[in-house]
Structure 1
Amino acid sequence: MGQVYESREQTLGGASQGPEAPGGPRGAHNGPMFENFETHRIPVPGATIHVRTGGRGEPLLLLHGFPQTHAMWHRLGPALARGHRVVVADLRGYGDSTACSEDFSFRAMAADMVAVMRHLGHESFHVVAHDRGARTAHRMTLDAPDAVRSVALLDILPTPTVWELVDDWLATRYYHWLFLAQPAPMPQRLISAEPLTFLYAALEGMGGTPGSLDTFHPEALAAYEAAAQNPSVVAAWCADYAAAAGVDREHDDADRGTSRNLPALLLWGGDGVVGAQTDPLEAWRPWLPRITGRAVPTGHFMVEERPDEVLAEIQEHLAAAARD
């Protein structure tokens, strides 16, 4: 298996030559990422968070998921910065953020982000987040409700709902939930033996274009590759999912029946897993009764698969939240 992904150029198949994708030609990635954004490293209890900031307006926090980094926002971040003060962060232990604590609960990651935003002078803010970042965002609504003005969650169900739905069908598609949660150091060692094989399987398996990595900007893909080859990042992935199978469930169980009456948007991949077994909006209403949203005709990585469509939905949501 060591030679399967030896050459990224070969795997990409010539990014600039691929077929046209919704929202723009596949592989047409023009210009550097996050041009005119500033970079910060912000210490918080138990971690140092890598952040990029840009734009002017109401503060907006963008959070990524697994197995990605803040680089997934390379198109939407600058676009949203035309009307907002955008803060794009790596979760603790992910990307260029570091961690000196073993606590990778969503409670800890939510506290990180609230501390980051306060450090930057933002006592309250909007949040748009994908995957693990979206779970962090939901935890922020529970633990720091005064800090979150509105929330947009991309392609997730509530964590308790995922565990309740696990069957053979879901387990084969969300296998990483079970694998990464195994006791250390087994999953870390297996991943680090073939980090790019594991990464590409995750990016292709949950995306809307199986067998192609052309969706991802070359610089973004390089960031994901660098992260996957960093043992400390792999350890963070595993600690994150171990927490989701343990302490996060305890926190969520303690908060059952707690709802937050704030503007909330949910988008999910119509070709993916989130809407296949249940109604995602109904699953979220006990937690976020004002939630609205719809399926986007793509897979899990909608921000990179359908950037223009997702951007339009987020902008409409943020405009409505500003009037709320």
Structure 2
Amino acid sequence: MDVTVPGATIHARVAGQGEPVLLLHGYPQTHVMWHVIAEELAQSHRVVVADLRGYGQSIAHQADFTFRAMAQDQVALMRHLGHARFDVIAHDRGARTAHRMVLDHPEAVRSIALADILPTLDVWRVMDDWLARKYYHWLFLSQPGDMPQRLINSDPILFLHSALLGLSGAPDAFHPQALADYERAARNPDVVAAWCGDYTAAATTDLDHDRADLGRTSPIPCLILWGSRGVVAHHLDPLEAWRAWFPKAQGHAVEAGHFLIEERPKEVLTSLMRHLGQV
């Protein structure tokens, strides 16, 4: 379905019956990254998988790619579907959107599961030469003007594959149909513009929003997962970092790179089901 919300049209798939759970993807992917886990969760939950504003098949009608705007989109989508309160499971940029959703819409989120991220403020705080090489896209995509888009659009598939391989280290991590969906999205200049708008906001306005909320905590159940072969735990303990926002945060590493949901779906699903069963 395609649901019009203020400032965007959000593309989503819905299936299953039970407690509602929203699944959000990250960069440079689409909602299709949940293809294994969504099907399993739909056996016991009402599952909503959605593309973030400007990503995949969602359309941005305004050039606001802050996590605040993207969180509002998803809350509006869930309300449109009749879900005033729901669980959120999210990866990468979707997880940052989910973090902001809890801060801006605490009444809407029952529990949260965040995959392979540190808080945005912490990423910038610990950014050094090692992390800048690993997360070069944070700096490149946030450059002013249209230079990043023009360079990416000259060979979007090369750029996409480089990004996926660089963050996963596993060229066979992605199902061919999922990879084809990511490629279709990457060929769309509007999607590339959304990538850049997202990372520009994360280097500017999003930091202001998060600084304004420093010291705020949420008591909701929180699961933190990260890839042991990734970079998230290199500088900080992810659990300790997230407990500054979610004191009840629990979690563990998964033997995977950044894309743990696709690299180790069964292991991730087991942790998610345990988390949801305790909410």
Regarding TM over 0.5, the answer is yes
Provide the aligned length of Structure 1 versus Structure 2.
Answer: 279
Bigger proportion of residues as helix: 2
Partners of 1:173 and 1:197 in 2: CA distance: 17
**Please, which of 51, 75, 84 is the counterpart of residue 12 of structure 2?**
51
Report the alpha carbon displacement of residue 218 of structure 1 after superposing the two structures with TM: 1.2
Partners of 1:96 and 1:103 in 2: CA distance: 17
Quote the residue 2:42 is aligned against: 81
Alignment partner of 1:169: what SS? helix
Is residue 116 of structure 1 aligned with residue 74 of structure 2?
Answer: no
Unaligned runs of 5+ in 2: none
Quote the residue 1:311 is aligned against: 269
Alignment partner of 1:206: what SS? helix
Quote the residue 1:131 is aligned against: 92
Quote the residue 1:258 is aligned against: 216
Report the alpha carbon displacement of residue 89 of structure 1 after superposing the two structures with TM: 0.1
**Please, which of 176, 188, 193 is the counterpart of residue 218 of structure 1?**
176
**Please, which of 245, 265, 268 is the counterpart of residue 287 of structure 1?**
245
Larger radius of gyration, structure 1 or 2? 1
Quote the residue 1:183 is aligned against: 144
* Residues 57-116 of structure 1: CA deviation (Å, up to 9, x unaligned): 000000000000000000000100011000000000000000110110000000000000
Alignment partner of 1:60: what SS? strand
Is residue 247 of structure 1 aligned with residue 205 of structure 2?
Answer: yes
Alignment partner of 1:75: what SS? helix
Quote the residue 1:91 is aligned against: 52
Mapping for residues 225-244 of structure 1, pairs under 5 Å: 225-244=183-202
Q: TM-score, normalised by structure 2?
A: 0.99
Report the alpha carbon displacement of residue 208 of structure 1 after superposing the two structures with TM: 4.2
Q: Decide whether the 8 Å contact of 1:71 with 1:223 is kept in 2.
A: yes
Report the alpha carbon displacement of residue 194 of structure 1 after superposing the two structures with TM: 1.2
Q: TM-score, normalised by structure 1?
A: 0.86
Quote the residue 1:296 is aligned against: 254
Partners of 2:275 and 2:169 in 1: CA distance: 24
Partners of 1:318 and 1:291 in 2: CA distance: 13
Report the alpha carbon displacement of residue 44 of structure 1 after superposing the two structures with TM: 0.4
Quote the residue 1:278 is aligned against: 236
* Residues 228-262 of structure 1: CA deviation (Å, up to 9, x unaligned): 11000000000000000000000000000000000
Partners of 1:77 and 1:202 in 2: CA distance: 24
Report the alpha carbon displacement of residue 184 of structure 1 after superposing the two structures with TM: 2.1
**Please, which of 199, 221, 225 is the counterpart of residue 267 of structure 1?**
225
Letter in 2 for 1:218: P
Runs (4+) of structure 1 exceeding 2 A deviation are none
Letter in 1 for 2:193: A
